[in-house]
Structure 1
Amino acid sequence: MPDIIFDYKSFLKTVPNRPGSYRMYSDENTVIYVGKAKDLKKRLSSYFLKEINLKTRALIEHIHHIEFTVTFSEAEAFILENNLIKKYQPHYNILLRDDKSYPYLVLSKGKHPGLYYYRGRKKIDCEYFGPYPDVSAAKDSLKLLQKLFPIRQCADTVYSHRSRPCLMAQIGKCLAPCVPMSEAAYKNYMQQVDYVRMFLKGQNQDVLNDISSKMEQHAANLEFEDAAKLRDQLLSLRRVQESQSVSGDLMFDMDVIGHDEEQDLCCNHVLFIRKGRIIGTRSYYSQCNLTDDNDALSAFVSQFYLSDMRAGMYPKEIITDTPVADDKSLCEAIKKISGKDVVFLSNVRSERAKYLKLARENARASLTAKLADKSTAKRRIDDLEKLIGLQGIEHMECYDISHTMGENTVASCVSFNREGPDSANYRRFNIECITPGDDFAAMHQVLTRRFKDPTEGIIPDVVFIDGGRGQLKQAEEVIGDIFSKVKVKPPLIVAVAKGEGRKEGLETLIRGYTREEIHLSLSDPALQIVLHIRDESHRFAITGHRHKRQKARSHSVLENIQGIGPKRRQALLKNLGGIREVMNASVEELKKVPGISESMAQMIYDELHSL
């Protein structure tokens, strides 16, 4: 039994034999583990037995004190545990880091309803279909529906201002409700809207039967062209149904979860099956930092299905690799949240067994790919450490400058750790008050601003500079001057100079101060990670520069004139016909614009002609 500072014997005497949730603290305020129990006293006592596993041992060695909350039932303990995990994000719990809302397809209301992709709260007055497991599943469905049913997918602002059919109408993917329609055409459009509604509700066969019936009516009335259009639509629908339907009678909603673990990394791959079709799949990864309170699959399932973001995504059946711990209590908790009955199955046969096998294979493949990425990243970092003679690299940064002919200069700072990009620490800097096109001065400014207080924040182990000896000299001056004044270890500086013809793989690495040059081939893992960091820095700088350039282009010179607000700018442009006409207008012409006095017209004229 390890040495424990926490007086667990006295504490356990106060714990009741009731269901509830408990929180373990490493100090007065830091929660390190959240759990739930049918019997709090028995569960908490089990942590302090003589025979415990290594993970539990590591946990209890850090316990400062324990708090608990008694609940009426184990189902309520499930819900409370889930809420507390989301609130505290404890170190020793499996954390499901996925707070994105699920996407929907929505059918708008009005004279000519449209079909759209939507993500967010249900605050717009539309018919909602979904939610879908991921964005790609929703957008793929939207593309498919556009091929099958020619209703509009344009925004209402576009639809209300069009006077002639758009390209989608010309290629047969929209019935062009934006232009005047005959009564027969309007009825046809609304019929297509009904078909979309039925299709999204899973009433595929009803749609097929209705289209088939109408095709026969047109053929009987010798309306062969209309009959041919319906025939093509019918064939398309049947092909879709054949490619998406499953054999057997599993025409209801279910989730199938395949689970795999390796090297303390867990992967849960979920197949989302709705109305007998796989509408999407998704892999969820987590660190297996749990105690023996629950197995990794049960911990994932309880968090996943008790999440607020699961609203509307509850299936009739949830099929798992192995039995879920406390599945009855979990079902009760789900019903309290959603009002829906679900059932957990594990020992399945026939079609369900085929889907479970598929989910397992996907989990194994996803986990293998994830581990391969991690091992590749580790190998690259290890090689880089050997190359530059610096052990224990945890944090790296790269700096790049981007501009167009010296204008709208932007500097980027991208951050990498041992696992790859650390986007939370990416930063952009707008460079000002320098000679246009002076990359050396830009580099000097960005590094001065980044390391103005080296005693605060993260100090990288390595700083990469995208550039040659000139940019490297600026980095040496700035970092050398700043860090010489404080007792903080300065980062190692490495410049990444482009090779002949700017071809990738011909770069030269130049160490700071010593100016030692390092030449590597593209197959070298160390160069691969350096190029990855450099390219990411370049991409981030270019993106920031383009945004700034676009904003500058959309900026009107009238916005710089004091006293000219949005209404007066609009009046000037509307009455004179555009910014060029405003620039060429005389004072007499300017003062004729409503809301523009003679003195204001003179001020506008003077400001525009002083540029």
Structure 2
Amino acid sequence: MPANEKLKEKISHLPHKPGIYKFFDDNGIIYVGKAVDIRKRVSSYFNRSAQHNKKTLKLVSQIKDIEFTIVDTEADAFLLENNLIKQYQPKYNILLKDGKTYPYICIVNERFPRVITTRNKQNDGSRYFGPYPSVTSMNVVLELIRTLYPLRTCTYNLSPENIAAGKFKVCLEYHIGNCKGPCEALVEETEYNQHIAQIKNILSGNLSVAKNYFKEHMAAAAAEFQYELAHKYKQKLDMLEDFQVRSTVVSNTLTNIDVFTITSNEQCAFINYLKVMNGSIILTQSLEIEKKLDEEDADILASVIVQLRQEFESTAREVITNIELGLPLDNITLTHPQIGDKKKLLSLSLKNALYLRKEREGRQEKNKELNEQRELRVLETLKKDLRLTELPRQIECFDNSNFQGDNPVASMVCFKNGKPSKKDYRHFNIKTVVGANDFESMYEIVTRRYRRLLDEEKPLPQLIVIDGGKGQLGMAVKALRDLNIYGQVAVVGIAKRLEEIFYPGDTLPLYIDKKSESLKLIQRLRNEAHRFAITFHRSKRDAGTLKTELTDIKGIGPSTADALLQKYRSVKKLRELSQEELAEEIGKAKAAVLYAYLHHSTEEAR
């Protein structure tokens, strides 16, 4: 049974249930999707081809197998899809992770805890805060904490026994006021832990506990006429106030909220994430995500919400978005505010997403303009170096390939505006020439190429490049003369050894500066034509070898060999098939003969 018939058969037995589906090619999973109705969703890929874009059509053409998993609800399907995408990273799914790890602030699980940074979160009893989207944002918070609280940085084991035995001495950090000296019992453990508790509140976004602490101690010091100490507490209180003012953008009544906004163009989606605690934005992240299959904004944003909340360990039960998701998320309330402080917060997030989009699109437009300027400069240089009358917007280059006279082929590559236009590349099987005759082969392929363009009334290129010396160039000119188009298009030849440029009728070659951009463009054309011809020649030669090997098997005829060759390309792939799979392709009798031959030859090779 052909592969597409197998898929149709499998699709017809898919369930009308919610769940996920996986598409496979020969190498593994290429796409994971979710569906309320698995059969309807999978069928749509194959039944609505006219509605699909090029990327989706390419995905469908590569599908070799389908698997599915049924779940209870659409929300379960969404979460399962998200987990599988992260696990397998299929090439047709949008991928959020870029492989980097985010930093945390860690309060170490030890006596007189240290406050450190780490990218490796462990289940060791320590308290981790974050992750932070950047080291810079994390260091701002860390610097505030270390300024407010004198904490130890040493790694000593400060057990009561070690301290009592006098094993440690205070270091420079103590003498400059950055540490209270717990290693010599110069600070009470209860006082130190009180500071740690305040640090935990600050890192959780709750600054009120620390602010009240410094206010009370400032007032107490002032009441006892300890004005210098009171001033120190006032300075620390001001630091907290300044930190909160710089972070606060909405009402203090808003707490533990996630904000996600999205805007997109045809190629990418731009997303901003804000995390709000106690009226302050404690985390912000902007992302650019390349679309793979023309996904809807709602689908992209729903996936990103789950992934970012997992990465940044959000516990917020309210998520504000600028679009309807149409998908319930467990234990989360989705809101779309129209007025008030939440609307202001949403507008701020969207402003960040729009700024990212504008900046990226502006950069792309600038790069495009720079590339176009460079392309124009190179073409202008080529026009000057080759003394052309027209700017060579379209250049076509021809090359021949054969091996000891066998399987003669040729290629034509096309560059437009200085860049490869692969859709215009052409292969040629040599039809009228017997043996290795590069001159006659060149005449044939040039004739065939431009007769077809003339018949189809398509525009001619401004420049033709012939990979070869005077002989090949002369035959190309003869072909153009016979077509009555010689003089309408410039034609030159390039000899490989000294990079000589030949003109029709000139006995002396032209030498272009080796560093010239125009020579480099001609070399790119020549190398690309050579690569394209060699690749075609090898595939044809290998196909001929395989076909001969198959047709030498008694009972396997040319038509059977052609069918197998077209689908499997190599004997190695045929050997990987079971006898039953071969029987589905060519029938039981031929499959038995072919299977025996393939595996008998394998045993002999061993």
What letter corresponds to residue 262 of structure 1 in structure 2? N
* TM-fit CA distance, 1:376: 3.9
Q: Is contact 2:49–2:57 with CA below 8 Å preserved after alignment? A: no
Change (3 A) 1:19 1:247: closer
1:303-452 matches, within 5 Å, as 303-306=304-307, 309-310=310-311, 312-326=313-327, 328=328, 331-332=329-330, 341-381=331-371, 387=378
1:92-103 matches, within 5 Å, as 92-103=92-103
What is the alpha-carbon distance in structure 1 between the residues aligned to residue 113 and residue 200 of structure 2?
11
Aligned: 1:66 with 2:72: no
Aligned: 1:296 with 2:297: yes
1:202-281 matches, within 5 Å, as 202-281=205-284
Q: Is contact 1:94–1:300 with CA below 8 Å preserved after alignment? A: no
Aligned to 2:117: 117
What is the alpha-carbon distance in structure 2 between the residues aligned to residue 94 and residue 110 of structure 1?
42
Aligned: 1:20 with 2:10: no
Residue 198 of structure 1, aligned match among 198, 201, 211: 201
Q: Is contact 1:298–1:324 with CA below 8 Å preserved after alignment? A: yes
Deviations 1:359-407 (A, max 9, x none): 1111121122223333444455555555497999xxxxxxxxxxxxxxx
What is the alpha-carbon distance in structure 2 between the residues aligned to residue 391 and residue 84 of structure 1?
47
What is the alpha-carbon distance in structure 1 between the residues aligned to residue 29 and residue 220 of structure 2?
70
Aligned: 1:40 with 2:46: no
Aligned-partner SS, 1:11: helix
Q: Is contact 2:19–2:77 with CA below 8 Å preserved after alignment? A: yes
Aligned to 1:464: none
Aligned to 1:456: none
* TM-fit CA distance, 1:183: 5.0
Q: Is contact 2:261–2:353 with CA below 8 Å preserved after alignment? A: yes
What is the alpha-carbon distance in structure 1 between the residues aligned to residue 6 and residue 101 of structure 2?
43
Aligned to 1:81: 81
Q: Is contact 1:19–1:72 with CA below 8 Å preserved after alignment? A: yes
Aligned-partner SS, 1:18: coil
Residue 177 of structure 1, aligned match among 174, 181, 187: 181
Aligned to 2:142: 142
Q: Is contact 1:113–1:193 with CA below 8 Å preserved after alignment? A: yes
What is the alpha-carbon distance in structure 2 between the residues aligned to residue 373 and residue 265 of structure 1?
14
Deviations 1:492-534 (A, max 9, x none): 9xxxxxxxxxxxxxxxxxxxx9664569xxxxxx9xxxxxxxx
What is the alpha-carbon distance in structure 2 between the residues aligned to residue 106 and residue 224 of structure 1?
35
Deviations 1:38-82 (A, max 9, x none): 111222233313762425445434433432222233233223222
Deviations 1:527-559 (A, max 9, x none): xxxxxxxxxxxxxxxxxxxxxxxxxxxxxxxxx
What is the alpha-carbon distance in structure 1 between the residues aligned to residue 157 and residue 98 of structure 2?
34
What is the alpha-carbon distance in structure 2 between the residues aligned to residue 383 and residue 178 of structure 1?
67
Aligned-partner SS, 1:156: coil
Deviations 1:225-267 (A, max 9, x none): 3223222222322232333334424432122122121241111
What is the alpha-carbon distance in structure 2 between the residues aligned to residue 21 and residue 263 of structure 1?
26
What letter corresponds to residue 268 of structure 1 in structure 2? I
What letter corresponds to residue 322 of structure 1 in structure 2? I
Aligned to 2:127: 127
* TM-fit CA distance, 1:281: 1.6
What is the alpha-carbon distance in structure 2 between the residues aligned to residue 187 and residue 80 of structure 1?
46
Deviations 1:190-247 (A, max 9, x none): 4433322332234422322232222222233333332232222223222323333344
Aligned: 1:166 with 2:167: no
Amino-acid identity (%): 27
What is the alpha-carbon distance in structure 1 between the residues aligned to residue 133 and residue 332 of structure 2?
18
Change (3 A) 1:134 1:226: same
Aligned to 1:441: none
Change (3 A) 1:163 1:124: same
What letter corresponds to residue 16 of structure 1 in structure 2? P
Aligned-partner SS, 2:281: strand
Aligned-partner SS, 2:354: helix
* TM-fit CA distance, 1:322: 0.6
What letter corresponds to residue 46 of structure 1 in structure 2? S
What is the alpha-carbon distance in structure 2 between the residues aligned to residue 246 and residue 5 of structure 1?
57
* TM-fit CA distance, 1:109: 4.1
Aligned to 1:49: 48
The answer for unaligned runs of 5 or more in structure 2 is 383-391, 395-418, 420-495, 500-510, 522-606
TM-score calculated relative to the size of structure 2: 0.55
What is the alpha-carbon distance in structure 1 between the residues aligned to residue 334 and residue 185 of structure 2?
52
* TM-fit CA distance, 1:278: 1.0
- Over the residues paired in the alignment, what is the CA RMSD in angstroms? 3.8
What is the alpha-carbon distance in structure 2 between the residues aligned to residue 358 and residue 270 of structure 1?
10
Aligned-partner SS, 2:302: helix
Q: Is contact 1:256–1:356 with CA below 8 Å preserved after alignment? A: yes
The aligned length equals: 383
* TM-fit CA distance, 1:181: 5.3
* TM-fit CA distance, 1:107: 1.8
What is the alpha-carbon distance in structure 1 between the residues aligned to residue 134 and residue 71 of structure 2?
35
* TM-fit CA distance, 1:140: 1.6
Change (3 A) 1:257 1:68: same
Deviations 1:382-436 (A, max 9, x none): 55555497999xxxxxxxxxxxxxxxxxxxxxxxxx9xxxxxxxxxxxxxxxxxx
What is the alpha-carbon distance in structure 1 between the residues aligned to residue 110 and residue 67 of structure 2?
55
What letter corresponds to residue 112 of structure 1 in structure 2? F
1:574-589 matches, within 5 Å, as none
* TM-fit CA distance, 1:36: 0.9
What letter corresponds to residue 41 of structure 1 in structure 2? R
Change (3 A) 1:316 1:221: same
Q: Is contact 2:269–2:289 with CA below 8 Å preserved after alignment? A: yes
Change (3 A) 1:182 1:349: same
